[in-house]
Amino acid sequence: MPSIGSTLEYLKGYYYIQDLSSCIAVDELEISGNNNCMTVLDMASSPGGKTTFIAQKMNNGGKIVACEPNPKRIPSLIFNLSRCSVKNTSVFNIFGEDVGKLAISFDRILLDAPCTCEGIIIKDETRKKSRNLKDIEFCSNRQKKLIDSALQVLKPSGIMIYCTCSFAPEENEMIIDDLIRNNEDGNIEIVPLKYGVDGLTEFGNHQFKKDISKTKRLYPHIHNTNGFYIAKLRKK
């Protein structure tokens, strides 16, 4: 019996295999086929699952900028974009932190931030022991830089989705809480999401802003997905 990823239909780009949590993140960008003038940024795009779904929602219209800092991962990204007949995407070998150098403003931004990936424990049990506090701290510091860079290039009234496949509050609620506290002028609004369990409002000695509960968590044992965190942000 051939695997679902080795069929002729897969090679022809009729479908892309990815977790439901990833699809929910893209769905919350509020993109439809009528948005053919929209400019969308995928800040950490390889191997291209979410990018191809965004292109599908845009009916291959508008513009997508797909960033990937690791040159070794770009071939798989380009392969999947080509396989799925995506025509509206430009690929840049650039760190997400440097996206401002492109001098482009975006209507929608997807930041599927590099993380410790604890959420894929349902597929890889080694994640129980293969990550430590230093890994979380490293990812958290980078995530703060990435989300700040994303905010700078997001248009007024634009929507940004921040997501990770991590359970760690340091990579999730704390990132959003810091962002809100650093923009006390009310420039950023947390938009409620449809699916998942409410985000944490406290962790250890940390008390988060009340609106952090509007963010969502997906759990393998509850939602039958990867462990996932999603925050939907609108720039006023």
| CB-CB neighbours of 217 under 10 Å | 20
Q: What is the DSSP letter of 120?
A: G
Least confident range from 11-15, 69-73, 117-121: namely: 117-121
Residues 6 or more apart from 64 whose CB is under 8 A from it? Answer: 39, 40, 41, 42, 51, 54, 55, 58, 86, 88, 89, 90
pLDDT at res. 209: 93
Catalytic residues: 165
Checking if the pLDDT of 124 tops 80, the result is: no
pLDDT at res. 4: 86
Q: Which residue bears the tokens 């952090």?
A: 212
Checking if the pLDDT of 216 tops 90, the result is: yes
pLDDT at res. 2: 73
pLDDT at res. 35: 62
Say if CB 119 and CB 165 are below 8 A apart.
yes
Reference 174, options 110, 104, 105, 115; nearest CA is 115
For the segment 147-206, what is each residue's pLDDT rounded down to a tens digit? Answer: 999 999 999 999 999 999 999 999 999 999 999 999 878 789 999 999 999 999 999 999
Say if CB 154 and CB 235 are below 8 A apart.
yes
CA distance 48 to 70: 13
Q: Which domains are present in the chain?
A: 8-235 (3.40.50.150)
Checking if the pLDDT of 75 tops 70, the result is: yes
- Taking CA 127 as the corner, what is the angle to CA 2 and CA 53, rounded to the nearest 5 degrees? 50
Measured between alpha carbons, how far is residue 143 from residues 30, 75, 139 in Å?
A: 23, 24, 6
Question: If pLDDT is split at 50, 70 and 90, which confidence band does 87 have?
Answer: very high
Percent of the chain with pLDDT over 70: 99
SS3 188: strand
pLDDT at res. 37: 86
Least confident range from 83-92, 121-130, 192-201: namely: 121-130
Q: What is the DSSP letter of 84?
A: T
pLDDT at res. 193: 97
For the segment 37-64, what is each residue's pLDDT rounded down to a tens digit? Answer: 899 999 999 999 999 999 999 999 999 9
Q: What b/e sequence results for 103-128 when a residue is b if at least 16 CB atoms lie within 10 Å of its CB, and e otherwise?
A: eeebbbbbbbbbbbbbbbbeeeeebe
Name the average pLDDT for the chain.
93
Say if CB 147 and CB 162 are below 8 A apart.
yes
Say if CB 99 and CB 154 are below 8 A apart.
no
pLDDT at res. 81: 97
Checking if the pLDDT of 122 tops 80, the result is: no
- For residue 213, how far is the Cα from the chain centroid? 19
For the segment 23-38, what is each residue's pLDDT rounded down to a tens digit? Answer: 999 999 999 777 678 9
Q: Where are the alpha helices (DSSP H) in 46-164?
A: 49-57, 74-83, 133-153
pLDDT at res. 202: 95
